[in-house]
Every structure is written in structure tokens, then in C-alpha cells.
């Protein structure tokens, strides 16, 4: 990522247009890659691709290794002979501008069950061989995940911490009995993962062949209701009854006056260190098969993290606990070579976080929206950006640029207008342009900002449990005119490869 000035767009696949009520990794995603090429952007940033659980959040997934089956595209399954057009004839009428997760999940799983039924009846030798190879290649995580999801389904979606003791504590005989009784259900979950990775691998190959590289996202913590916690309880702070003793969060900050109580289990870093971070090495390697670069969410947690006693109603009461620090990244560097990582270093950050970031030459993040509550020395103002950073107009956790401006105090609005030397009438593009002119080698803006959309199009409200992650672009919003406008921006500020004959 250090060779030249580049730019990209932040857009999760679920926000793409498409007929099945949610954006996915089918034809519209290929159109999106073509749009990025046309716009002169070389980077596509998205959120975690794991199977979403609580609150439909991609940051609360049932697995750190599995893919989200709701992103599997139905038309590609028709192309493969796993579905017919008739299978799509009873598709409900979905809203175009938002994901209504309940009906979407019901519809997607109905299609995937049909696809698996057709797969078993057709007995395609090629697909059988590919599926069996996938099961063998991914057995390290796939077996536990599929078993976890099957048990969860039989228990009506109940979190594993509330299962019967024999299954919750992974009694060997109980697991054998369950596998014998529910072999077909376990196979269903394996097949969904096979389809997801098959479709995603093809899309990533297409993107890379077009010169587009993909930035993915690793949440530092895993969901409490995940196959990772269930199958590796020794790696987390659980008591003898497998209940968490402490959980993750952050203290009161910019986003919330009571802090954010995430509730994720916390790592026993002493155990991870003894194994030379094998679980983490597997996790990062698996993630790098999906993406070219990784945004490491909550980077500060590797220096120190906020520990909240389990059962507390908010994150106000807690304490800072040292993380693994440089030792972790030294092991990762030895394993991976150059670390393809962006450090999410936002929030209330101490100097030791920046020291760790710079020790491994990792680019941090700069958010232009944060810049206007201070003075011209504010590090989030574009003229203060270092070269080795990734600069954003905003992220999925922020309001849109327009929404931020409309809701900002008048003092911040005034400083913003003065700084940009603009009236504020086209604030989204004014902020983007300012970021693009900066020294930052990488610049990224959410698609919502390029479209000039307001708060109604925001992706996430941190600390709010429901109603997030649902925004979708309309088909007519991603067009040639917008691509050409972005291309001009990239050309003017040297964020595009210029052919020699120009």
C-alpha cells in the first residue's frame, strides 16, 4: 500500500442493489468492481464478511472464519444448476433502499436449502469433488462451526451459553450422538459455506484482475455467541461453568456518555502467547485469503483494553488491562512478513498506542469529521495528515458528511466553512476534496458521501443495538456520471495511474 497515492470507496456488499432484498456477491458486485475501475479508485473497503448474529451486525458474527450465507447470490446458483428460475418465482417484494433483515434471512435460507436439496439429488461429480475438497481444506474451523450452527438451530437459535450442559461443555459422547442424529443439518451449514467461499473467491479474483484490491476488517474481539468461543473456551476469561467473568467495552467517549458495553469475551493473552498466537495466526491467514489488506479494528486493544465485570449494565465501571503489545506483532511479522494491516487508532488514545503502531510502520486512520472542534493544529485536519495514514471523510461508525455538518454545532460548521473556503452548499464533496488533496497516501470515502446523502443513510450508530446496517444504494445512483466525477477527483490529486501517452 506504500507505492503510490491511491483512493477507494467504503461500501459493504449488503448495501449494493439487487433483487433479493440485500446486496450480495453476485452480478451487482461485479458491476461495482467495474464502477471502481471507471472511477479510478483502486481500493474497495468493506466490513467483516462473517455470518451475522445479534443485531445483524457484521461485528458480532457466529464465527471469525466463516462467511455470511445471506451474501450468496441466487442467480449465480441458477447458473450452476443448483437453482432454477422457477425457484425464484416466489420471491417476496423487498424494499430497494434498505435491508429488512427478517424477511431477507427467511428468503435467503429458503433458497439455500433448495440449492442443497438440488445438489444432493443431482449428484454432480464435479461439485461433489469440489465440496469434499472444501470440507477437507477448511476442516480446522468448518467442522466446529457447522456443528455449532446445527446445535444452535435445533435449540431455536439459543446462545450456546444457554444450551444443555453436555453440549455446552462439549461432552464427546453427546457431540457424537448429535452428529449421528443431525448429519444432514450439519451438511447444510457446510454447503452454505462452500457456496459463499466459491462465489467470493471468484469475485475477489475478478477484482484483483481489474487492478482493484480489497480492504477487509477484523474486529479485535469475537462474539460471545460464536463457534470460536464455544470450541476454544480456554482462550477466553470464562469461569468453570463457561460463563464470562469479564467482557469487552470502551469507557465513556465521543460516541457515548456511558461508554459502549460490547459484551464480547476477553482473551486470555497469556494462553495465546504460550501457543505463539496460533489461533490468531490462523485467523489472520484466513482473513487474508478473503482480502488484500486488513483494517484491524480497535487497535488500541493490543496495547490495553477496557475490562468490564460481567453483568454490569454499562461500560462506565471497568479498568484498563495491558494487551499483548509488540510481542504479538513480532510473531505476526515473522509469520506474514510485511504486515498488510491498517491500525484503527481512533478514540481516546494514549501515546503508547502510536508508539506500537509506528514500531511496525502501520498506517493509522484520520477522520475529517473529527477535525473541526479544535484549532488549525488538530491532527484530523487534512493539512496535518502524515503520508503513512488512511484518511477518510467518515466511516461506517460516523454520520454521513452531510448529516454530520447539518447536526454539528454552529461553531464547528463555521470553522469547517472557513477551512474549506466553501459555502457549505456541497459539503460532502468539499470534505472529500479536502481529504483527497492531503498528503495521506490512501484516501477513502463511503459511497454515501459521494452521493451527498444525509443522516437517513447512515450505516451504524455505535452503542445502539438495533436498526443499523440496513442502508442500500439504489440502482440508478451508481452510474457513469458519478464514476466520471470521482475519476476527475482522482486525476487532479494524483490518485490515479496516468498512462504515459497523456
Name the residues annotated as catalytic.
297, 344, 397
User: 128-132: long-range contacts at Cβ-Cβ below 8 A with a sequence spacing of 24 or more?
Assistant: 130/194, 130/198, 131/190, 131/191, 131/194
Query: Does residue 402 sit in helix, strand or coil?
Result: helix
| HEC assignment per residue over 443-475 | EEEEHHHHCCCCHHHCCCCCCCCCCCCCECCCH
Tell me how crowded residue 474 is: count the other CB atoms within 10 A of its CB: 10
Secondary element (H or E) of residue 217: strand 213-218
**First-last CA distance in the chain:** 25
The CA distance from 442 to 44, in Å, is: 12
Would you give the DSSP letter of residue 180?
H
The CA distance from 206 to 414, in Å, is: 45
CB 44 within 8 A of CB 444: no
The CA distance from 353 to 320, in Å, is: 13
Smallest CA-to-CA distance from 261 within 222, 300, 314, 312 is with: 314
Report the DSSP beta bridge partners of residue 218.
296
Query: Biggest alpha carbon distance in the chain?
Result: 71
Smallest CA-to-CA distance from 432 within 409, 410, 451 is with: 451
C-alpha grid cell, residue 356: 506500537
CA-based torsion, 404, 406, 412, 413: positive or negative: positive
CB 362 within 8 A of CB 339: yes
Residue 92: phi and psi, rounded to 5, are -65, 165
Measured in whole angstroms, the distance separating CA 191 from the mean position of its chain's CA atoms is 22
Would strands 341-343 and 293-296 be described as parallel, antiparallel, or unpaired? parallel
Residues in Cβ contact with 379 at an 8 Å cutoff, skipping those fewer than 6 apart: 366
Query: Does residue 114 sit in helix, strand or coil?
Result: helix
Mark 261-283 as b/e (b = at least 16 C-beta within 10 Å).
bbbbbbbebeebeeeebebbbeb
Amino acid at each position: 500500500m506504500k507505492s503510490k497515492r491511491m483512493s477507494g470507496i467504503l461500501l459493504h456488499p449488503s448495501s449494493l442493489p439487487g433483487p433479493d432484498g440485500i446486496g450480495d456477491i453476485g452480478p451487482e458486485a461485479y458491476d461495482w468492481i467495474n464502477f471502481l475501475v471507471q472511477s479510478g479508485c483502486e481500493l474497495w473497503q468493506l466490513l467483516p464478511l462473517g455470518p451475522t448474529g445479534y443485531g445483524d451486525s457484521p461485528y458480532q458474527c457466529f464465527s471469525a472464519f466463516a462467511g455470511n450465507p445471506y451474501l450468496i447470490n441466487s442467480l449465480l446458483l441458477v447458473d450452476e444448476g443448483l437453482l432454477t428460475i422457477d425457484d425464484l418465482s416466489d420471491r417476496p417484494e423487498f424494499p430497494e433502499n434498505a435491508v429488512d433483515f427478517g424477511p431477507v434471512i427467511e428468503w435467503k435460507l429458503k433458497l439455500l436449502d433448495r440449492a442443497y436439496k438440488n445438489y444432493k439429488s443431482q449428484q454432480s461429480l464435479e461439485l461433489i469433488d469440489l465440496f469434499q475438497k472444501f470440507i477437507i481444506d477448511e476442516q480446522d474451523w468448518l467442522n466446529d462451526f457447522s456443528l455449532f450452527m446445527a446445535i444452535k438451530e435445533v435449540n431455536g437459535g439459543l446462545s450456546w451459553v444457554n444450551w444443555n450442559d453436555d453440549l455446552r461443555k462439549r461432552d464427546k459422547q453427546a457431540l457424537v450422538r448429535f452428529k449421528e442424529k443431525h448429519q444432514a443439518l450439519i451438511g447444510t451449514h457446510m454447503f452454505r459455506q462452500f457456496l459463499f467461499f466459491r462465489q467470493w473467491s471468484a469475485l475477489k479474483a475478478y477484482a484483483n484482475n481489474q487492478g482493484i484490491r480489497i480492504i477487509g476488517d477484523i474486529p479485535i474481539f469475537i462474539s460471545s455467541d460464536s463457534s470460536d468461543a464455544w470450541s476454544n473456551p480456554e482462550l477466553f476469561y470464562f469461569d468453570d461453568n463457561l460463563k464470562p467473568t469479564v467482557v469487552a467495552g470502551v469507557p465513556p467517549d465521543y460516541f457515548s456518555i456511558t461508554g459502549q458495553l460490547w459484551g464480547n469475551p476477553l482473551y486470555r493473552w497469556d494462553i495465546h502467547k504460550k501457543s505463539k498466537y496460533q489461533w490468531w495466526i490462523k485467523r489472520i491467514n484466513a482473513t487474508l485469503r478473503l482480502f488484500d489488506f486488513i483494517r484491524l479494528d480497535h487497535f488500541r486493544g493490543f496495547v490495553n483494553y477496557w475490562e468490564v465485570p460481567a453483568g454490569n449494565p454499562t461500560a462506565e465501571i471497568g479498568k484498563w488491562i495491558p494487551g499483548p503489545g509488540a510481542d504479538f506483532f513480532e510473531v505476526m511479522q515473522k509469520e506474514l512478513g510485511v504486515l498488510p494491516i491498517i491500525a484503527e487508532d481512533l478514540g481516546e488514545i494514549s501515546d503508547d498506542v502510536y508508539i506500537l503502531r509506528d514500531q511496525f510502520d502501520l498506517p493509522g486512520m484520520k477522520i475529517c469529521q473529527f477535525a473541526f472542534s479544535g484549532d488549525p493544529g488538530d491532527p484530523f485536519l487534512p493539512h496535518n495528515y502524515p503520508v503513512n495514514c488512511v484518511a477518510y471523510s467518515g466511516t461506517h461508525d460516523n454520520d454521513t458528511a452531510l448529516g454530520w455538518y447539518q447536526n454539528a454545532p454552529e461553531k464547528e460548521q463555521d470553522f469547517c466553512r472557513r477551512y474549506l473556503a466553501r459555502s457549505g452548499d456541497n459539503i460532502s464533496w468539499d470534505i472529500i476534496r479536502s481529504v483527497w488533496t492531503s498528503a495521506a497516501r490512501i484516501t477513502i470515502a463511503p459511497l454515501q458521501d459521494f452521493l451527498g446523502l444525509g443522516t437517513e443513510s447512515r450505516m451504524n450508530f455505535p452503542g445502539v443495538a438495533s436498526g443499523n446496517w440496513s442502508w442500500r444504494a439504489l440502482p440508478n445512483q451508481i452510474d457513469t456520471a458519478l464514476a466520471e466525477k470521482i475519476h476527475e477527483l482522482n486525476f487532479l490529486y494524483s490518485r490515479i495511474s496516468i498512462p504515459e501517452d497523456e
